[in-house]
Amino acid sequence: MTLNLIPQTESYQIGEQRLILNSVTWEQYETLRATLDDFPGLRMTYLEGTLEIMTPSPEHEFDKKTIARLIEIYALEMDIDLSGYGSTTFRKQAKERGLEPDECYCFGELKEFPDIALEVVISSGGIEKLDVYQGLQVPEVWFWKNNKFSLYRLREQGYELISHSEFLPELDFSVLAQYVRYPSQTQAVKAYRETLRQLPK
């Protein structure tokens, strides 16, 4: 197992730090994951021998929780059977992949892997998350970066950038993004709820 420190000047300033370990076996990854479970907030991403350990910043956590609350009020107002699983660890040994999404959701009953995963990107660098999600066969991945959403849908050849969620085709992400930027989560949820209630039925 070899160590590779990734300098993150911008992320260091906002409290986000990332550590990369190379030549990590699956057994070592599982041992580290179990050992570090007592440290809340640590995110681990494993891809074919490379392990990324990341400590999210307050900004990162605030954004992901704001988005989660907005998505959940959307599902409630639209009467959608949506179940959230937060940052549950998902892994598949045969594909040598594992990670914890910032947030994730299933429609209807619980599945082995989520239907939708959300990733908040504050700083660049590290493992390419779509490569991990492809091995886990997660149908949709939503990224929040630079105050906008980018949506990806898994196809036969890999992920394709899409303009609307195929699970939630009526969800307008440009409108949703406006409420993510609110300084108050509660006010964001209240305002978004009022906007949803004004939509034609």
Q: What are the tens digits of pLDDT across the range 34-54?
A: 888 777 678 899 999 999 998
Q: What is the pLDDT of residues 57-113, one digit of tens each?
A: 889 999 999 999 999 999 999 999 999 888 788 888 888 889 889 999 999 888 888
Domain ranges for the chain, please list them.
58-197
| Exposed e or buried b per residue across 184-197, where buried means at least 16 C-beta atoms within 10 angstroms of its C-beta | ebeebbeebbebbe
- Residue 200 burial (CB count, 10 A): 3
Output the pTM of the full model.
0.87
Are 152 and 124 spatial neighbours (Cβ–Cβ below 8 Å)?
A: no
For residues 172-181, average pLDDT: 96
Measure the CA–CA gap between 64 and 185, rounded to whole angstroms: 11
CATH class of domain segment(s) 58-197: alpha beta
